[in-house]
Structure 1
Amino acid sequence: MNALLRRAVTCGIVAGSLIATAPLAIARPGSRDCFDPAAPATVSERRLDSAVAQEILRRSGFDRFGAKFRHALCAVGSRHTAALLVKAEGIALWRAAVDRVQGRGPAGGDLARADDRPLYWARLELTRSLRQWRPGFPLSGAARTGLIDSMETSSRGQDSVFFPPGLKRVMISGFDPFQLDGDIRRGNPSGANALALDGLILKTPSGPALVRTAMFPVLWGPFEAGMVERAFLPEMPKLDMFTTVSQGRVGRIDIERYNGRWHTGLDNDNETRATTIPVPGGIPTVTPQPEFVPTTLPYERIVAAPTGRFPVFDNTLVTEIQPGATTPVVSPTGPTPGSIARAGGGGSYLSNEIAYRTTLLRDALKLDVPGGHVHTPVLQFAPGNTTAVTDPVFEQNRADIVAQLREIVETALS
């Protein structure tokens, strides 16, 4: 039996905790091919076949996850065993990405350790394998979707957010790369930041603070299904601070003052939206749902502090339909009372949406906790580099952004 699968079967991983369980039978020993390559894949998964994606996987050593997972899947003989394997592999992928960025263990290749992209492309290999898997036992569409969802949450660190007693608690989120049809080489500094900060203990005037992070997809469906709230809700009442982070504008960092109740644009699977942000049933919310929700991050302190290379702004701009009007207008100083949101300071894409959802959850729980959204600069390649997957300018830009985000977090905590 595959060593990883044996560990998953004999230990089990449920909600991020190890529990003892009896070994389970494994069917089809020796089977090496249990996949249907003609099975439909998502738009995101189809990009895996690009030379850039394969180069990033190869040069980081993260190409090993796909082959190992496929071999293990072909030995699985039950849904229960499959669930254990998926959870174990998802958590292992997340930990490997965090360890690589934070300098633990071998680099696995010549790609810079700080790179967030290996995690993204390796995860897609695993979810595509689950979509193409043809097990030797009945597996309904709903059960397969459940396995894919488990892989998504566990490999994003969403199942690994745990705070021991005695420390201040800080939760930070990051995003996958996006707009890959424009340039498939793109990374996301917010994702690199999440990998760099997970598990770090920061010194503050009132004591040490533990940072836990989680990654989120640039996809409408998981947000509408409540992925953000399910990740934040268990810890939100006990947090000392939270901030969602995403890539924003060129050459600047923005502390977004207002988050709007409207989402638009193409996601990573080329799906689009142009509606108000829905809150799924069972999630605490504010009624009626507000058009704008403000940050409670200490933006004045952050803007005034010398945190790094990029200028930091308190961004109060919103787009709204003012009372009695029908056409959206830009308001540079925040929302007009009674207006309808068409964009927060962070726009109307998923970055604004994660900020809206988390700050709305904060208010629904009636919490007095600093929380909001930080937009990073765009992570740029060296001028003239239109083909290489990395270069020294790209890597320095990423390092500077991540270092400044850490300073911003420490400033907010102080």
Structure 2
Amino acid sequence: MRLVTVIAVSAALLAVPQAATAAGPAECYDRTAPVTYEESRIETPALPGGTRVPYELVEAGGFTPYARAVTGALCRIRSVADAQRVLRREGDRLWRTAVLRAQGKVHLGTIERYDDRPLYWTRLMGTRDLRQWQPAFPLTEAQRGELLRTYEYAARGISSTDFGPGVRRVLVSGFDPYQLNGEIRRSNPSGASALQLDGLRFTVAGSRVQVQAVALPVTWSGFDAGIVEDAFGPHLTARSRQRADLIMTISQGNRGVMNIEQWAGAWRGGSPDNNDEGEPEPVPPAPRWPQPEPQPEFIETTLPWAAMVAAGTGPWPTALNPRLCEWPAGTRPDPAAVRCHNDGSTPGSQAQSGGGGSYLSNESMYRSNRLRLALGATDLPGGHLHISALVYPADPLVIIDEAFSADRRATVDQTVELVKAASSAA
């Protein structure tokens, strides 16, 4: 069977996306109300005049009913408490369905099961609706923000990371698609890996292992609000029965290599995120969570990287990346003073980037492990894995073809094996 989905310009194909936006009474929404830059991409076509790719992906994944469910439910809500309950339920249902679909336990849609994009765009439709919702009762902006957080945390798996009894506990994170201005079809193999890993159980050397996974946003504002710490923190406290035995952040990196990053740096370079925002600055402190004093400029991985390299996973080579970039003492932020090398940080220097750069992937490693150190979990392995980037079909009207599907599946399957290798060695 040929695995090719083509975006065609036709009235019949446009009918489904239009219906998805029309659910619920018109008076329940103000469709002129502002949304985020990221949410505005929902209306983006592959080419001018073409069908809107996000709607096409939601439909191809079988997720249109889940987008409609949130749209319709909001118009029936009569209190903030009811909204909290409904949004937690709908977010959790979306995440759980995406995981079951990815793992082949339910069959939805026409697009292959490793695809992370239907979840991304469906969740984004839900947050857009929440911003434009005009409820029949008073709602402050602070309350709306709490409802957005409730829905997002549930729809990202953050509200459902509890482990079962008697298992070795592994918590990992992936990321949303990003760089969508240049390529609206983007997938993120780390987000696809999170869907494969969530709830995974296996046995190694007589020990039962359970993996839980979450999907992180590609937004500086989301990180500033503490989403990384909220995801990992409950599993890093010393007396918690849910304390993890290993944590790993995962993101897309360079093509053709799986890099275990040796260093994460306390500096964000300010490259534009999914909201087209970004300012170069030190990584800010996290709200609601403790911080090490003083804040470390670099944090070194404690993942069992040698065992991961030796595990012989494929198709891509796996390596430890020891590179970092720093400013000698007193020279930040002079770009001409930056020094990059593989020899570890110099005493008194300040971070410019970890091995994986100074974007949100570096910061996911830095924040999760900064919190790990602050909570005294120094015995708990933690670090970051950059996995191979994807290559998209040459025809901009093709959402997915056999080559793209096989490439993503191979990368995701290798990521799962590397998590298993780390879990076995920890």
State the TM-score, normalizing by the size of structure 1. 0.90
Which digits, 9 at most, give the CA deviation of each residue in 1:69-125, with x for residues without a partner? 211111111111111111111101101110110112232x21111100011000011
The answer as to whether partners of 2:297 and 2:351 remain within 8 angstroms in 1 is yes
Which digits, 9 at most, give the CA deviation of each residue in 1:367-402, with x for residues without a partner? 2011100001101124x3333111111111111111
**RMSD of aligned Cα (Å):** 1.4
Query: How far apart are 1:206 and its partner, in Å?
Result: 4.7
Which of 306, 318, 335 does residue 312 from structure 1 map onto? 318
Which of 329, 332, 348 does residue 323 from structure 1 map onto? 329
2:409 aligned partner: 399
Query: How far apart are 1:301 and its partner, in Å?
Result: 1.8
For the pair 1:211 / 2:232, whether they are aligned, the reply is no
Partner Cα separation in structure 1 for residue 417 and residue 267 of structure 2 = 31
Query: How far apart are 1:33 and its partner, in Å?
Result: 4.2
Task: Give the AA of the match of 2:67.
Answer: G
Task: Give the AA of the match of 2:83.
Answer: A
Partner Cα separation in structure 1 for residue 150 and residue 365 of structure 2 = 23
Which of 346, 362, 365 does residue 372 from structure 2 map onto? 362
Query: How far apart are 1:286 and its partner, in Å?
Result: 1.0
Partner Cα separation in structure 2 for residue 373 and residue 195 of structure 1 = 17
Task: Give the AA of the match of 2:297.
Answer: E
Count residues with an aligned counterpart: 383
Map 1:92-111 → 2, pairs under 5 A: 92-107=93-108, 109-111=109-111
Partner Cα separation in structure 1 for residue 205 and residue 310 of structure 2 = 18
The secondary structure found in structure 2 opposite 1:353 is helix
For the pair 1:269 / 2:308, whether they are aligned, the reply is no
Query: How far apart are 1:358 and its partner, in Å?
Result: 0.9
Partner Cα separation in structure 1 for residue 403 and residue 345 of structure 2 = 38
Which of 42, 45, 60 does residue 39 from structure 2 map onto? 45
The answer as to whether partners of 2:98 and 2:119 remain within 8 angstroms in 1 is yes
The answer as to whether partners of 2:196 and 2:416 remain within 8 angstroms in 1 is no
Single out whichever of 319-328 and 162-171 deviates more from structure 2: 319-328
Partner Cα separation in structure 1 for residue 385 and residue 123 of structure 2 = 25
For the pair 1:387 / 2:385, whether they are aligned, the reply is no
Which of 238, 247, 251 does residue 246 from structure 1 map onto? 251
Map 1:154-303 → 2, pairs under 5 A: 154-237=154-237, 238-264=243-269, 265-303=271-309
Say which structure, 1 or 2, has more relative contact order (CA 8 Å, 6+ apart): 2
Alpha carbons of 1:281 and 1:353: their partners in 2 closer, same or farther (altered >3 Å)?
same
Partner Cα separation in structure 2 for residue 69 and residue 365 of structure 1 = 37
The secondary structure found in structure 1 opposite 2:223 is helix
Partner Cα separation in structure 2 for residue 206 and residue 352 of structure 1 = 34
Same amino acid, percent of matched pairs: 43
The secondary structure found in structure 2 opposite 1:385 is coil
Query: How far apart are 1:336 and its partner, in Å?
Result: 1.7
Task: Give the AA of the match of 1:208.
Answer: R
Single out whichever of 164-173 and 403-412 deviates more from structure 2: 403-412
Task: Give the AA of the match of 2:268.
Answer: H
Extract unaligned runs of 5+ from structure 2.
Answer: 1-23, 45-51, 238-242
Query: How far apart are 1:66 and its partner, in Å?
Result: 2.0
